[in-house]
Amino acid sequence: MVSMSAISEALQKGKADEVKNLVKQAVEAKVDVKKILEEGLISAMDVIGGRFKRNEIYIPEVLIAARAMHAGMSVLEPLLVAAGVKMIGKLAIGTVKGDLHDIGKNLVAMMYKGAGFDVVDLGVDVASDKFVQASDDGAQLLGLSALLTTTMVQMKGVVESLKEKGSKAKVIVGGAPVTQNYADEIGAAGYAADAASAVEIGKSLLK
């Protein structure tokens, strides 16, 4: 019988094929899909998030673990949909207009997926109206990433457009030039300096 800790350990080591096989075996052994998701995959990504935050591991290790998470999720996703298992919440994330940097944004998106969120990746160079549309489409959280001092100003426009449309979505901003002060100044609901904190902030904003 496959144990959840075996899945978790394989994920933490970034062994994508092993994670996929173990998840398949667990599904075949009729282990509850939600249990595999929460105790096998999400808990392992929590460990990875914590280690990344404490600088015990770095971006490559996080990306390798995230790839293993995807491998496990590729087996579980159709079953979760069929079982109607509710995701924690919905996040739409993108790099703001004029900005093509996506490594940090992808990392944040992966950590959210790992935490059990439904994630819509809007890509890079995302105009304000696309964020507004994502809010209309049910995203409770909107993640805005910017790496350039010249593009971070776009975040203000997004917050204002959402306000004008009466959107209830909460905006989280991040990226190298962005600060808590800037987030406060433009009226964003949250700011995170790194991908692991972004997930913590997102969870707390949904409470």
Binding residues for ligand B1M, rule: CB under 6 A, are 59, 93, 98-105, 107-108, 143-145, 147-150, 172-177, 192, 194-195, 198
* Minimum CB distance to ligand B1M, residue 171 (Å): 8
Q: CB within 8 A of 101, min separation 6: which ones?
A: 95, 124, 145, 146, 147, 148, 175
Torsion sign (Cα): 119, 122, 127, 132: negative
**Dihedral, CA of residue 191, residue 141, residue 37 and residue 49, to nearest 10:** -10
Nearer to ligand B1M, 22 or 196 (CB): 196
Contact present, 146 and 177 (Cβ < 8 Å): yes
Contact present, 70 and 121 (Cβ < 8 Å): no
Nearer to ligand B1M, 27 or 193 (CB): 193
Dig out the tokens for 32 from the structure. Answer: 């509850």
* Minimum CB distance to ligand B1M, residue 152 (Å): 8
* Minimum CB distance to ligand B1M, residue 164 (Å): 21
Nearer to ligand B1M, 38 or 102 (CB): 102
Dig out the tokens for 52 from the structure. Answer: 């990344």
Nearer to ligand B1M, 4 or 147 (CB): 147
* Minimum CB distance to ligand B1M, residue 167 (Å): 16
Nearer to ligand B1M, 80 or 120 (CB): 120
* Minimum CB distance to ligand B1M, residue 131 (Å): 11
Please give the Cα distance from 69 to 14 (Å, whole number): 8
Nearest CA to 88 out of 117, 114, 124, 62 is that of 117
